[in-house]
Amino acid sequence: MARISTYTYDNNIDDKDAWIGTESSNRLTKQFTAEAVAKYLNIKGKISVSGQMVFKFSAGPTQTGEFSGPNNGDSLSSFTTLSISGTDISGQETAAFVQYLVSNNILISEQNKIDQFGHYTIDSYTLTGSNVYDLVLTNIGGNGNVVLNKNYDFAAFTISSGTGDKTFNFTQGAPSATWTIQHNLEKFPSATVVDTGDTSVLGGQIEYIDNNNLTITFGSAFAGKAFLN
């Protein structure tokens, strides 16, 4: 066998490139591909990324490193509760950090498929079993569906609101005495209401469901617009 120093360097690593190494369980010599090593580092969380945790989606009951609750194939924009282990798949104890994130935002995305994601506000985080917690969420946005036995990154995530305050314009197309508005402003906004003739309407009673949803109740049904800020 030639000396290692005589082999040329390859600076362009491909998934199927391989290294020679030793299998820990039986001490046999094996090949390890770049793709397999990268997958191992991702799943086991061997490269630390601040604010990121990794959990496997399971059918339940929830075990260490897993989360459950949604059905396989549910939209990442549809579920509002999860059962989640207090220890992620890499062995990190995550309970104190997630508790700290309550009332803040989190991004849940399929590992290596960032276009499969859900963006949520964490409403509560409650111990319900031995190192198992219920996570109550309000959805902000997302795309795709959860897939059984796939690994998901959970990361603290907030979209900057820019230099100005956030606003939301709502249109009530059909006449109604109660307007239900999901604004996703993450605050308790004031509201200005006009009818279809752009005449200001006073006297509506606002009920804040949470910091992303509210209802406005009037004495009679009408259509129009609400401007929230």
**Given 156, 176, 202, which residue is the final one in a domain?**
156
pLDDT in tens, the chain (229 residues): 567 777 788 777 777 888 888 888 888 888 888 777 766 666 655 555 556 899 999 998 999 999 999 999 999 988 899 999 999 988 889 999 999 999 899 999 998 888 999 999 999 999 999 999 999 999 988 899 999 999 999 999 877 655 556 789 999 999 999 999 999 998 999 999 999 988 889 889 999 999 999 999 999 999 999 999 8
Domain total in the chain = 2
CA distance linking residue 145 with residue 75, whole number of Å: 4
Answer yes or no: is 14 within a domain: no
User: Locate tokens 């989640």: which residue?
Assistant: 84
140 and 208 in a common domain: no
User: Locate tokens 């604010």: which residue?
Assistant: 51
Task: Assign residue 117 the CATH number of its domain.
Answer: 2.40.30
Answer yes or no: is 184 within a domain: yes
152 and 130 in a common domain: yes
223 and 178 in a common domain: yes
Q: Which residues of 11-36 are buried (b: 16+ CB within 10 A; e: fewer)?
A: eeeeeeeeeeeeeeeeeeeeeeeeee
pLDDT of residue 178: 96
Show the domain range for 221: 168-228
